[in-house]
C-alpha cells in the first residue's frame, strides 16, 4: 500500500532545529566538546518544590480519571491569582481561561477554531514556527510581518495592505520575542489592538517568555484590552517545566469558549497531577528570580565576550536568547559555521533558519541566535573560546 502524506505535511521542509541538531550531532560523534546554544530547551532542573508537588499529587489523585479539559479548579484559580498579582488583570476562571498542553499545543491548534480555508493569518517573521504551521494545517494563508531592527523588531502595520487586513482572521504577536529578544511597548500594544479591532482580527499574544526579562518587566496585552484578544502563557520557561506540558490561554470569553469546544475534540487536557505542580509553581516567585539571575549572568558573560572581539552590540531585553548581529562580511550561516569550526565548537542558530524571505528580504539574515541554556560554567568556557575567534 502506498502511504502518502497530505499536501500540507508533504510540503513542509524539516523543522529548522532538525538541521541544527544534525550539525551538532555530527560534531559530537567525532568526539568534539560542543557547547550547544542552539535550541531553547534549558537543562536546568525543575525546582524541587515543583517536583515534590507532582510526587504528592500522584498519590492524592489515586484514581487518575480524565482531566477536565478547561483545567482543574485549583489551577484556574491560581492562574487568576497570578494574573491579578503580575499584571493587575482580573479574569473569570469559568469563562476567560482554558488550560493547554504548554503553549505549543495552543499555538498550533488555535487557527483550527477560527480559520476557514483561504483566510489570512498574520505571522511575525522571524517567529516561532507553529504560528505558520498551525495556519497551514488549518488551510489558512500565513502572511509574514517582518521584524526589523530599524522598527525595534515590532511589526509595521502600515505594511499590511487593506486587502490582506480584510482577509486576516488572526494576528500573532510574541513579546518578549523569540528570537529577537525584544520587548513590546505599551504604545505598540495599543496600536496593535486598534489595528486588529478596525479589521476584525483576533489578536493573540504569545507571552511564553513574560517572566524571562532582564531589566524592565514585560506587560501583558490583557492590560490594554480583552475584547477580541487572547494571551497564551506557559510554565515551561518561567519554571523550567518544558517537559511537563502545561500552560493556558486567557482573554475574551467568546474566543475561549470556541477554543475549549475545539480542544474537547482534540485531547483530554493536561494531566491533573501536572496541573497540581503548575499550581504550586505559580505560587512561588523565588525560583523564577533565581533563574532570571542565572540567565542575566550568562547573558553578561557572552555579551562581554562578543564585545571583546568587536561584534556589534546586541543587548537582549527579555527571553533567554541573544539575537547577535554578525560581523560585517559574514552571512548568518557563515558566522554560525565559523563558531562551529575547529576548537571553538559552539552551536548557535543562524537567524536565516528562523525566518522566511519576504519580498527579497530575509529579516533573520545577519543574525545568529544564542539560547542561554548551557550552565554558567559552560558559558564561561564558551566565552573563552569566543575570545579566541579571529574575525
Ligand X SMILES: Cc1ncc(COP(=O)(O)O)c(C=O)c1O
Q: Which residues 314-373 are close enough to bind ligand X by CB under 6 A?
A: none
Kindly tell me which residue out of 46, 99, 125, 174 binds ligand X, with binding defined by CB under 6 A: 174
- Are the CB atoms for 124 and 99 separated by under 8 Å? no
Question: Quick one: DSSP state of residue 175?
Answer: S
168: left (phi over 0), alpha (psi -120 to 50) or beta: beta
Q: Which residues 198-237 are close enough to bind ligand X by CB under 6 A?
A: 206, 208, 234, 236
- Are the CB atoms for 219 and 255 separated by under 8 Å? no
**Residue 103 binding ligand X, by CB under 6 A:** yes
Comparison of 269 and 383: residue with beta carbon closer to ligand X: 269
**Residue 247 binding ligand X, by CB under 6 A:** yes
Q: Going along the chain, which residue ranges are E strands?
A: 35-36, 97-100, 120-125, 141-146, 168-174, 202-206, 229-234, 247-251, 321-325, 346-347, 349-350, 367-371
Task: Give the strand pairing for 346-347 and 35-36.
Answer: parallel
Q: Alpha-carbon distance 70 to 67, whole Å? A: 8
* Residue range at the interface with ligand X (CB under 6 A); choices 101-109, 221-229, 310-318, 349-357: 101-109
Under rule CB under 6 A, how many of the chain's residues touch ligand X? Answer: 14
Q: Which residues 261-300 are close enough to bind ligand X by CB under 6 A?
A: none
How near is the Cβ of 80 to ligand X at its closest, in Å? 19
Query: Please, what's the b/e burial string for 11-39 (b: 16 or more CB within 10 A of its CB; e: otherwise)?
Result: eeeeebbeebbebbeebeeeeeebbbbbb
Comparison of 242 and 314: residue with beta carbon closer to ligand X: 242
* Residue range at the interface with ligand X (CB under 6 A); choices 13-21, 103-111, 274-282, 338-346: 103-111
Nearest to 228 by CA among 200, 249, 248, 205: 200
How near is the Cβ of 204 to ligand X at its closest, in Å? 11
**Residue 182 binding ligand X, by CB under 6 A:** no
* Residue range at the interface with ligand X (CB under 6 A); choices 97-105, 136-144, 212-220, 336-344: 97-105
**Residue 155 binding ligand X, by CB under 6 A:** no
How near is the Cβ of 109 to ligand X at its closest, in Å? 12
What is the side-by-side strand order in the sheet with 97-100? Answer: 97-100, 247-251, 229-234, 202-206, 168-174, 120-125, 141-146
- Are the CB atoms for 137 and 11 separated by under 8 Å? no
How near is the Cβ of 245 to ligand X at its closest, in Å? 7
**Residue 176 binding ligand X, by CB under 6 A:** no
CA torsion sign, 251 to 253 to 258 to 259? positive
* Residue range at the interface with ligand X (CB under 6 A); choices 23-31, 98-106, 193-201, 300-308: 98-106
Residues written for the chain: 391
* Residue range at the interface with ligand X (CB under 6 A); choices 100-108, 156-164, 165-173, 289-297: 100-108
| Three-state helix/strand/coil letters over 291-348 | HHHHHHHHHHHHHHHHHHCCCCCCCCCECCEEEEECCCCCCHHHHHHHHHCCCCCEEC
How near is the Cβ of 174 to ligand X at its closest, in Å? 5
**Residue 99 binding ligand X, by CB under 6 A:** no
Q: Alpha-carbon distance 234 to 338, whole Å? A: 35
Kindly tell me which residue out of 42, 67, 71, 102 binds ligand X, with binding defined by CB under 6 A: 102
Comparison of 242 and 324: residue with beta carbon closer to ligand X: 242
**Residue 145 binding ligand X, by CB under 6 A:** no
Q: Is 133 helix (H, G, I), strand (E, B) or coil?
A: helix
**Residue 36 binding ligand X, by CB under 6 A:** no
Kindly tell me which residue out of 128, 144, 214, 323 binds ligand X, with binding defined by CB under 6 A: 128
* Residue range at the interface with ligand X (CB under 6 A); choices 99-107, 163-171, 185-193, 255-263: 99-107
Which residues would be at the binding site for ligand X (CB under 6 A)? 40, 102-104, 107, 128, 174, 178, 206, 208, 234, 236, 242, 247
Amino acid at each position: 500500500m502506498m502511504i502518502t502524506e497530505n499536501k500540507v505535511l508533504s510540503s513542509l521542509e524539516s523543522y529548522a532545529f532538525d538541521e541544527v541538531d544534525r550539525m551538532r550531532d555530527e560534531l559530537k560523534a567525532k568526539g568534539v566538546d560542543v557547547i550547544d546554544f542552539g535550541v531553547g530547551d534549558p537543562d536546568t532542573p525543575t525546582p524541587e518544590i515543583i517536583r515534590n508537588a507532582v510526587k504528592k499529587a500522584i498519590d492524592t489523585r489515586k484514581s487518575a480519571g480524565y482531566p477536565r479539559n478547561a483545567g482543574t479548579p485549583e489551577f484556574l484559580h491560581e492562574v487568576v491569582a497570578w494574573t491579578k498579582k503580575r499584571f493587575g488583570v482580573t479574569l473569570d476562571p469559568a469563562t476567560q481561561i482554558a488550560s493547554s498542553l504548554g503553549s505549543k499545543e495552543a499555538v498550533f491548534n488555535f487557527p483550527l477554531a477560527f480559520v476557514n480555508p483561504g483566510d489570512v493569518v498574520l505571522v511575525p517573521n522571524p517567529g516561532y514556527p507553529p504560528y505558520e504551521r498551525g495556519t497551514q494545517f488549518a488551510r489558512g494563508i500565513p502572511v509574514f510581518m517582518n521584524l526589523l531592527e530599524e522598527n525595534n523588531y515590532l511589526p509595521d502595520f502600515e505594511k499590511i495592505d487593506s486587502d490582506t487586513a480584510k482577509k486576516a482572521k488572526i494576528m500573532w504577536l510574541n513579546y518578549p520575542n523569540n528570537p529577537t529578544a525584544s520587548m513590546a511597548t505599551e504604545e505598540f500594544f495599543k496600536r496593535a489592538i486598534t489595528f486588529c479591532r478596525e479589521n476584525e482580527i483576533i489578536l493573540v499574544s504569545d507571552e511564553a517568555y513574560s517572566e524571562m526579562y532582564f531589566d524592565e518587566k514585560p506587560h501583558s496585552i490583557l492590560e490594554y484590552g480583552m475584547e477580541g484578544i487572547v494571551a497564551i502563557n506557559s510554565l515551561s520557561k518561567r519554571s523550567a517545566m518544558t517537559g511537563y506540558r502545561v500552560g493556558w490561554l486567557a482573554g475574551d470569553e467568546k474566543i475561549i469558549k470556541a477554543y475549549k469546544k475545539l480542544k474537547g475534540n482534540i485531547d483530554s487536557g493536561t494531566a491533573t497531577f501536572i496541573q497540581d505542580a503548575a499550581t504550586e509553581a505559580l505560587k512561588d516567585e523565588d525560583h523564577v528570580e533565581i533563574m532570571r539571575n542565572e540567565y542575566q549572568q550568562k547573558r553578561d558573560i557572552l555579551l562581554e565576550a562578543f564585545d571583546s572581539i568587536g561584534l556589534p552590540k546586541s543587548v537582549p531585553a527579555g527571553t533567554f536568547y541573544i539575537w547577535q548581529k554578525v560581523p560585517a562580511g559574514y552571512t548568518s550561516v557563515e558566522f554560525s559555521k565559523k563558531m562551529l569550526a575547529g576548537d571553538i565548537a559552539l552551536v548557535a542558530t543562524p537567524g536565516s533558519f528562523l525566518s522566511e524571505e519576504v519580498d527579497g528580504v530575509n529579516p533573520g539574515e545577519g543574525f545568529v541566535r544564542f539560547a542561554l541554556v548551557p550552565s554558567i560554567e559552560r558559558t564561561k568556557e564558551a566565552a573563552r573560546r569566543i575570545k579566541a575567534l579571529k574575525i
